[in-house]
Amino acid sequence: MIEAGWPTAALCAALVFAPLMTGLVLYLAPRPGLLEKVPVGLAAILLAGVVLLSGEYLDSGPVFLAMGGHPGPLGIELQLDALALAMLWLVAAVALAVTVYTAAALPARDGAAGTGFRLLWMPLWSALNALFLAADLFNLYVLLELVSLTAISLVTLHGGSRAIGAASRYFLFALGGSTFYLLGVAVLYADTGLLTLRLLQASPSGSPAVPLALGCMTLGVAMKAALFPVHGWLPHAHARAPSAASAVLSGLVVTGGAYLIIRLWLGPFQALAGGPAAQVMGAAGAAGMVYGSLQALRQSRLKKLIAYSTVAQLGYLLLALPLASALALQGATLHAVSHGLAKAAFFLAAGNLIRLSGNDRLETLGNGDRRLAGPLAVMAVAGASLAGLPPTGGFMAKWQLASAALASGQWWWAAAVVGGGLLAAAYVARVLQYGLMAPRENGHRQHDGGALPRAMSWPPLALALAAAALGLAALALAPWLPGAVPAGSGE
């Protein structure tokens, strides 16, 4: 891995600091006009920034940046590899959609929720970009904390005791997660004296403390990422948050945790991937796929159903650990991106449903209201990707994961991938069938939410189409997909 040139360094710095700084300025000058328009402009600029960064990456390959000219182990480093770049793309795309959406859905004039969302979302946005670029275990800890604290606050935006309850639960899990993660980092540091990922990778240690440290860190991150079986907070928190916040939480925040697990297991701790511990992680992933899907099939509220779907879909990412190949990593990357896009689309569409009908009960979808056709179409397209129907992005991810499983002789993971897709199809179909039902005679009173503003109907559709189109673009994107196991991310 080489050191980055100045354009890459400048772009990375912008991605990390621009949202935070803009958020500070908006905090000091909270004018509704500025609060609504500035984030949209920034999101467009940062999306362009990621495009430029991808161009740079094509020439340079994986790079690290020594901030202020001080390289590790003492200085703070950032690193950019294919996996990180894919995540930055995901953040940029979801950020643009969500900021445009909130301009109409949560107007800044609406007081606490409108202002609060922006002031929390801007630092969260920075923290996510930084999390994907961070290159040492302690900075990762700091960023995980920043992500958790802003994310927890987003859950409380609409107030009410239930939202506070859900947020408290989230907070307890996050706190426990931080403790375990930090414990793991401390054990590792005591043993090796290193925190920088690429240096850890370069000098693997055979000490028995290493598996212990990895176990602690994995458990900690899993609690924050709501990986089965430590997922208990997610369904409540993601269902209670405002829909735009749910989109960010389900599409980006938990993906960040799962990303970190993949980064660690397939990076500095590769030696353990492919072993029995990795099989256990894979089994937890598969169990999460089954459990989350079955729970999703039992919900009567749309947002709860989508939240359980997140628990299920995160399970796929863990399958990359026992497979531990370049193909599996590609599949996991594609899955993280396509799921993030599709899930954000799903939640924004749910927000539209609530706006139009006043609630998110599944039966409401069957009240014969024509205006619901738009959100339903979004859910159909995003759902096709979640269920892995060809040729969507979700399909391509599952294809690669299943192919990697067969290539390594572990056919049972291929069966899990195919079966998980079937379960996802079941809960997506369950949502859509309400939309196809004939309205009941004595049915629901139509709630008059007026027509949907255009800024609320296009972002979810664009995200859903992007998730679906990802499958058609896998070949074109090949230069940017992880071709080799990232080595923390060395050679």
Partner 1 sequence: MNAYAAMPLWILLTSLLASVVIFALGEARRRARITVNLTAASGKLVLVAVMLFGVGEGHDFGFRAGLAPGLELALHADALTMLLMTLSAVLWLLTTVYAIGYLEDSPHRCRFFGFFSLCVAATSGASAAANLFTFLVFFELLTVSTWPLVVHRGTPEVMAAGRKYLVYLLTGGALLLAGTIGVHAIAGPGDFVPGGYLSGDEAPRAVLVALFLLMFLGIGVKTAMFPLHAWLPAAMVAPAPVSALLHAVAVVKVGAFGIARLVYDVFGFELTARLHMHHVVAGVAAFTILYGSARALTADHLKQRLAWSTVSQVSYIALGIGIGGIPATVGGLVHLVHQGLMKITLFFCAGNLSETHGIHRVSEMDGAGRTMPWTMAAFTTAAFGLIGVPPLAGFVTKWYLGLGGVAGGHHWVVGVLVASTLLNAAYFLPILRRAWFAAPPSDRAAQAEAAPALLVPALLTAALSLGAGFLAGMPYSPLQWVLFITERFYG
- 318: tokens are 């863990």
CB of 406 to partner 1, least distance (A): 4
CB of 422 to partner 1, least distance (A): 5
CB of 366 to partner 1, least distance (A): 8
CB of 235 to partner 1, least distance (A): 24
CB of 314 to partner 1, least distance (A): 21
Residue that is written with structure tokens 């949502």 in the block: 431
User: With respect to partner 1, which residue has the nearer C-beta, 22 or 330?
Assistant: 330
CB of 390 to partner 1, least distance (A): 4
- Report the run of H or E that residue 64 belongs to, with start and end: strand 63-66
> What single string gives the DSSP state of each residue in 158-215?
T-SHHHHHHHHHHHHHHHHHHHHHHHHHHHHHHHHS--BHHHHHHS----THHHHHHH
User: With respect to partner 1, which residue has the nearer C-beta, 92 or 384?
Assistant: 384
Contacts of 380 (CB under 8 A, 6+ apart): 428, 432
User: How far apart, in whole angstroms, are the C-alpha atoms of residue 120 and residue 241?
Assistant: 13
CB of 100 to partner 1, least distance (A): 22
CB of 409 to partner 1, least distance (A): 10
Q: Are strands 77-80 and 2-3 parallel, antiparallel or unpaired?
A: unpaired
**Is 402:327 a contact under the CB 8 Å cutoff?**
no
User: With respect to partner 1, which residue has the nearer C-beta, 52 or 429?
Assistant: 429
Comparing CA positions, the residue from 338, 330, 469 lying closest to residue 400 is 330
Residue 134, classed as helix, strand or coil, is strand
Tell me the C-alpha to C-alpha distance, in Å, between residue 149 and each of 15, 187, 353. Answer: 20, 25, 28
Where along the sequence are the contacts to partner 1 (CB under 8 A)?
A: 366, 370, 373, 377, 384, 389-391, 396, 399-400, 402-403, 406-407, 414-415, 418-419, 421-422, 425-426, 429, 433, 436-438, 471-472, 474-475, 478
User: With respect to partner 1, which residue has the nearer C-beta, 299 or 403?
Assistant: 403
User: How far apart, in whole angstroms, are the C-alpha atoms of residue 127 and residue 220?
Assistant: 18
User: With respect to partner 1, which residue has the nearer C-beta, 164 or 437?
Assistant: 437
CB of 400 to partner 1, least distance (A): 7
User: With respect to partner 1, which residue has the nearer C-beta, 90 or 402?
Assistant: 402
- 1: tokens are 């891995």
User: With respect to partner 1, which residue has the nearer C-beta, 2 or 436?
Assistant: 436
CB of 391 to partner 1, least distance (A): 5
User: With respect to partner 1, which residue has the nearer C-beta, 70 or 440?
Assistant: 440
Residue that is written with structure tokens 């193909």 in the block: 327
User: With respect to partner 1, which residue has the nearer C-beta, 17 or 411?
Assistant: 411
Q: Exposed, middle or buried, 222 (CB in 10 Å: 0-12/13-18/19+)?
A: buried
User: With respect to partner 1, which residue has the nearer C-beta, 73 or 390?
Assistant: 390
> What single string gives the DSSP state of each residue in 298-363?
H-SBHHHHHHHHHHHHHHHHHTHHHH-SHHHHHHHHHHHHHHHHHHHHHHHHHHHHHHHHSS-BGG
CB of 417 to partner 1, least distance (A): 9
User: How far apart, in whole angstroms, are the C-alpha atoms of residue 81 and residue 397?
Assistant: 19
Tell me the C-alpha to C-alpha distance, in Å, between residue 235 and each of 192, 238, 316. Answer: 38, 5, 18
**Is 319:310 a contact under the CB 8 Å cutoff?**
no
User: With respect to partner 1, which residue has the nearer C-beta, 107 or 419?
Assistant: 419
